[in-house]
A = this chain, B = another copy of it.
């Protein structure tokens, strides 16, 4: 093997020494007087720090175990041939799930406290069984997705065999949603109300929608992959966006206003005051839903941060399908359980774009090679768009689709100068699209462009959600 071209990234021991007591303080803070208004949030933050440290230190520590277990690969877009441990997303998934499981007692600490301090009175203080079911079913769904991903990494399951699994993984979610006598009504946008009325009961279709959402979010990140840190980078920015959205609904001790009227909205968003956060308008239920979402998102950001340290260009570790599946399922779970699935979809704009762009290849109109990652030029160290070749002249429909895409500037095609028939076309992914529009660039630059587009998508999502939503919907959108 010779000398490795990429040695493991060094880990600052001072980080471990410095962050451990910080984590300890956050975990213990709820037990100190005066008890903070949202004690679970402190513990969750403390656990997240521990999860971050665990991933940061475990990923390089278990490298040799992964290589020994045949879980390694070579980086296709590099000049060196080092063995890089593959599917280390399973480390993230394991740490993440263990964090969530250990956090269960703290998520229900208010139930423990209230049963202790209020023994008198006729109404028995009921344990929040519904919240517990939601919590358990969420972990269960995420765990099934993580296993699917890992089995896929180990056994290379065919895609049509694994397609139904996200649907099965979402059965626990559906059951809990039903148990709440799930509200399957959907508010109709103003322009359509003359036809449908103001509420439409989707009924069983709502459950189909939930299943499709899980399928999309688990696969959406997975098909936007192939360059260092692309998968974990997307997950990180989506999770941060969700956290920002959640924080809008939390009771803050400080009081501030967000000038959403600048975005064209009629309302003022005022954030502040315990249990009367701006967007929650004093609804305890809304606060609890977004707390639930934060309990799942903060550890996710933590494991993603720990992993991106090793996965960043040039990568020392690969995530495998495990990371894509479990992060995707986590987003679907919180979107469904905390009832903001439409807002969530807005954070997936680059993934939606990538999926729509990919459709002609996914559905067989355009030939789909095994890898659609950009082509690496070993001399310049730059990435170029990779291409799909037509062995036989394409059908009329395919030609039409590619010519439309080409006119929109989404792809570059090469045509036969004599017959005008299409010979090849750049692969239909967002990564190749960036390379077509912005020209060849390094892998590091490309992942930065991808993350910037994800970030820009989130900004747009907030504008649409809090600015434009009041145009198509009236009143408070909860």
Q: Are A101 and B69 in contact (CB under 8 A)?
A: no
Q: Given A108-B175, A179-B127, verify A168-B101 contact (CB < 8 Å).
A: yes
Interface status of A155 (Cβ within 8 A of chain B): yes
Q: Which residues of B contact A68 (CB under 8 A)?
A: 155
CA distance in complex: A70, B153 (Å): 13
Interface-forming stretch among A137-145, A226-234, A306-314, A439-447? A137-145
Contact with B along A98-138 (1 / 0, CB 8 A): 10011011001001000100000000000101101100110
CA distance in complex: A139, B156 (Å): 25
Interface status of A352 (Cβ within 8 A of chain B): no
Interface status of A172 (Cβ within 8 A of chain B): yes
Contact with B along A49-70 (1 / 0, CB 8 A): 0000000000000100110111
Interface status of A27 (Cβ within 8 A of chain B): no
Q: Are A104 and B175 in contact (CB under 8 A)?
A: yes
Q: Which residues of B contact A105 (CB under 8 A)?
A: 171, 175
CA distance in complex: A102, B174 (Å): 11
Return the contact of A140 from the options B62, B136, B150, B176 (Cβ within 8 A): B136
Interface status of A3 (Cβ within 8 A of chain B): no
Q: Which residues of B contact A130 (CB under 8 A)?
A: 129
CA distance in complex: A179, B65 (Å): 40
Q: Which residues of B contact A155 (CB under 8 A)?
A: 62, 65-66, 68-69
CB nearest neighbor in B for A103: B171
Q: Which residues of B contact A143 (CB under 8 A)?
A: 140, 143-144, 147
Q: Which residues of B contact A150 (CB under 8 A)?
A: 150
Interface status of A478 (Cβ within 8 A of chain B): no
Q: Are A127 and B181 in contact (CB under 8 A)?
A: yes
Q: Given A132-B133, A133-B129, verify A101-B172 contact (CB < 8 Å).
A: yes
CA distance in complex: A181, B102 (Å): 19
Contact with B along A206-218 (1 / 0, CB 8 A): 0000000000000
CA distance in complex: A90, B137 (Å): 22
Q: Are A168 and B133 in contact (CB under 8 A)?
A: no
Number of residues from A at the complex interface, CB < 8 A: 46
Chain B nearest Cβ from A247, distance in angstroms: 27
CA distance in complex: A102, B133 (Å): 17
Q: In residues 145-172 of chain A, which contact B (Cβ within 8 Å)?
A: 146-147, 150-151, 154-156, 168-169, 171-172
Interface status of A468 (Cβ within 8 A of chain B): no
Q: Which residues of B contact A168 (CB under 8 A)?
A: 98, 101-102
Q: Given A70-B69, A97-B144, A154-B69, verify A136-B172 contact (CB < 8 Å).
A: yes
CA distance in complex: A136, B146 (Å): 17
Q: Are A175 and B69 in contact (CB under 8 A)?
A: no
Interface status of A94 (Cβ within 8 A of chain B): yes
CB nearest neighbor in B for A97: B144
CA distance in complex: A71, B150 (Å): 14
CA distance in complex: A279, B132 (Å): 32
CB nearest neighbor in B for A146: B147
Q: Which residues of B contact A175 (CB under 8 A)?
A: 104-105, 108, 132
CB nearest neighbor in B for A172: B136
Chain B nearest Cβ from A175, distance in angstroms: 5
CB nearest neighbor in B for A132: B133
Q: In residues 34-91 of chain A, which contact B (Cβ within 8 Å)?
A: 62, 65-66, 68-71, 90
Q: Are A151 and B101 in contact (CB under 8 A)?
A: no
Q: Are B156 and A102 in contact (CB under 8 A)?
A: no
CA distance in complex: A98, B148 (Å): 11
Chain B nearest Cβ from A182, distance in angstroms: 10
Return the contact of A70 from the options B65, B70, B97, B140 (Cβ within 8 A): B70
Q: Are B137 and A102 in contact (CB under 8 A)?
A: no
Q: Given A136-B137, A144-B143, verify A129-B179 contact (CB < 8 Å).
A: yes
Q: Please, could you name 30 A-B residue pairs with CB atoms under 8 Å apart, sorted by A?
A: A66-B155, A68-B155, A69-B155, A70-B70, A90-B151, A94-B147, A98-B168, A101-B168, A101-B171, A102-B171, A105-B171, A105-B175, A115-B181, A127-B178, A127-B181, A129-B133, A132-B175, A132-B176, A133-B133, A133-B136, A136-B136, A136-B137, A136-B176, A139-B172, A140-B140, A140-B143, A143-B143, A143-B144, A143-B147, A146-B147
Closest 7 A/B residue pairs (Cβ): A136-B136, A70-B70, A129-B129, A127-B179, A65-B155, A69-B154, A133-B133
